[in-house]
Amino acid sequence: MATDKRALVTGVTGQDGGHLSALLIEKGYTVFGLIRGQHNPKKLAYQHEFPQVTLIEGDLTDPTSLFRAMEIADPDEVYNLGAVSHVGFSFKNPTLTLDVTGKGVLNMLEAIRLTGRSERTRFYQASTSEMFGGLDYNRPGRGYNEESLFHPRSPYGVAKLYGHWIAKNYRESYGMFVSCGILFNHEGERRGTEFVTRKITQAVARISLGEQDYVELGDLWPKRDWGYAGDYVRGMWQMLQHDQPDDFVLATGKSHSVEDFLAAAFGEIGVADWRPYVRQNPEFLRPAEVDILLGDASKAEGVLGWRREVDFDGLVARMVSHDRGLARSGG
């Protein structure tokens, strides 16, 4: 597919960054990725997988580096995926989280505006269902949508809410094409092993090979609306192709507990009773928990024609199968 479009992706070494890089390359984009740090251990693997992508050194907390990135990439589209993205980590590192996940959005928007790209460059902000908070009073029966109230329950959620509102403010104040995707949890074979789904599927794979005895987790009752990351990055791209900027929820409309995920993942290796393989470790409990997340993606489905291909069972099967392959090859 040929296009002369140029895209800059922050957070390019993350889960969504990998899926989005593949999608944009397939669509013929010239892709630039922001990579942080003097020596980023993920750089070599990323370059090996995506040699077509030009990596630009920069950090969301360093405006000068973002101005430089904007001049080099001269992008038609910016996907701002970079963030401190782990909720538990954000409780222990709240100031860093604010700087990267919150102020980093402002730094990106200013880099676009002050380099004279307000009219040309479209901006995607990675907003999150964590902004809703999962509290009883705030939980519509059919799931959260674009009209639902926000009540973030972590430093991460609060920082994301700032990012969400400053992005909307630049849309309203400067007429910039800024769209926010309010995405519910999405997982897959690229998911970081610090997140509960991948932690479980990696453990299940190792347990099945006799390489691990049990997995240590926090609370097992919270429920999440878990989808597949490959489906969700397509939605991000669709948001920036739409004729006007807007906010969209992406979700599956189904919610499962961590226990449900455990049962499905252990079921993939023929283990019906997973309890002997799971221990609770208070280190993984959070000062405040989000009880349940359930999303309603009707707007994205109706307006953008967004569709999902992978359901919950398919997601779990895919992740366990991938991690068993990795474990067998010593990965």
Return residues touching ligand GDD (CB under 6 A): 85, 87-88, 128-130, 184-185, 194-197, 199, 217-219, 222, 224, 258, 284, 286, 289, 293
Mode of pairing for the β-strands spanning 247-250 and 178-183: parallel
- Residue 156 annotated as catalytic: yes
Q: Determine the distance from the C-alpha atom of residue 312 to the mean position of all C-alpha atoms in its chain, rounded to a whole number.
A: 17
Q: Based on the shown chain and the rule CB under 6 A, indicate whether residue 134 belongs to the binding site for ligand NAP.
A: no
Residue bearing tokens 């901006």: 123
Which runs of E-coded beta strand occur in the chain? Answer: 6-10, 30-35, 54-57, 77-80, 122-128, 178-183, 186-187, 215-217, 223-224, 227-228, 247-250, 256-257, 278-280
Rule CB under 6 A: choose which of 63, 66, 79, 85 binds ligand NAP: 85
Distance CA 125, CA 160 (A): 10
Residue 219 touches which of ligand NAP, ligand GDD, none (CB < 5 to 8 A by kind)?
A: ligand GDD
Q: Give the C-alpha distances (Å, rounded to integers) separating 35 from 10, 24, 199.
A: 7, 17, 25
Minimum distance from residue 285 beta carbon to ligand GDD (Å): 7
- Which two tokens mark 176? 């910039």
Minimum distance from residue 214 beta carbon to ligand NAP (Å): 25
CA dihedral (184, 185, 189, 191) positive or negative = positive
- Residue 20 or 73: the one with the smaller Cβ distance to ligand GDD is 20
- Residue 277 annotated as catalytic: no
Residue 304 touches which of ligand NAP, ligand GDD, none (CB < 5 to 8 A by kind)?
A: none
Which residues, 182 to 201, sit near ligand NAP by CB under 6 A? Answer: 183, 185-186, 192
User: Other CB atoms closer than 10 Å to residue 26's CB: what's the count?
Assistant: 9
Minimum distance from residue 171 beta carbon to ligand NAP (Å): 18
- Residue 64 annotated as catalytic: no
* DSSP-derived 3-state class of residue 226: coil
Residue 13 touches which of ligand GDD, ligand NAP, none (CB < 5 to 8 A by kind)?
A: ligand NAP
Minimum distance from residue 50 beta carbon to ligand GDD (Å): 22
Cα three-residue angle 79-290-201, rounded to 5 degrees: 70
- Residue 75 or 102: the one with the smaller Cβ distance to ligand GDD is 102
Minimum distance from residue 79 beta carbon to ligand GDD (Å): 15
User: Other CB atoms closer than 10 Å to residue 73's CB: what's the count?
Assistant: 22
Q: Count how many Cα atoms sit within 13 Å of the Cα of residue 39 in the half-sphere of its side chain.
A: 0
Q: Specify the stretch interacting with ligand NAP by CB under 6 A; choose among 32-40, 141-149, 251-259, 277-285.
A: 32-40
Minimum distance from residue 293 beta carbon to ligand GDD (Å): 6
Question: Which candidate in 10, 97, 128, 201 is catalytic?
Answer: 128
Task: Report, as residue numbers or ranges, the catalytic residues.
Answer: 128, 130, 156
Report the interface residues with ligand NAP, using CB under 6 A.
10-11, 13-17, 34, 36-37, 40, 42, 59-61, 81-85, 100, 126, 128, 183, 185-186, 192
